Structure 1
């Protein structure tokens, strides 16, 4: 008679888990700000969140700040944003929007241009 116990280990197949899906596996937020000559368009998951019209000749950066603040509160782990600008938008406006993104902890910024 053998005095030693024998243990056999078998790997089970990947079964569904009750654990929540990690955020990095959730659907991408795809947060975007489009800077147009007439204002901003904020979108996420390819749906418009808010159209922000310019106030006369000035862009309404304060309303953009509030919209981004709300999105960040709803999705605190998201740090990615794409800032897209029409060709005729002043360069300083692009910089202002990028600074605002950084202020809101959106520091993974991609920049793109579109033809208007």
Structure 2
């Protein structure tokens, strides 16, 4: 009895996936442009904003992870050191995010815009 339950679950999942694939509506081809940059300056501004956002967001996640790890360490020196390492990594991430405008300026100089 135990071996048939996983098989039934797997068969139900496969059946559901097949039904969803067979009944899917094909995508309509469209030429709608969602993001249109009017100038090269706008492109560089968008790159800077995306780079800053991704780096700062990732650093925030790492900082949060390190904080949770520090709280759950319960005095264990190895876990406290791992949490401190996460804090250092988050600091590097915030530092790189702060340098995002400089990176975009260097890129702008290479492109010649």
By the TM > 0.5 criterion, same fold? no
Of Structure 1 and Structure 2, the greater helix share is in 2
TM-score by length of 2: 0.29
TM-score by length of 1: 0.29
Larger Rg: 2
Q: Which has the higher contact order (CA 8 A, sep 6+)?
A: 2
Of Structure 1 and Structure 2, the greater strand share is in 1
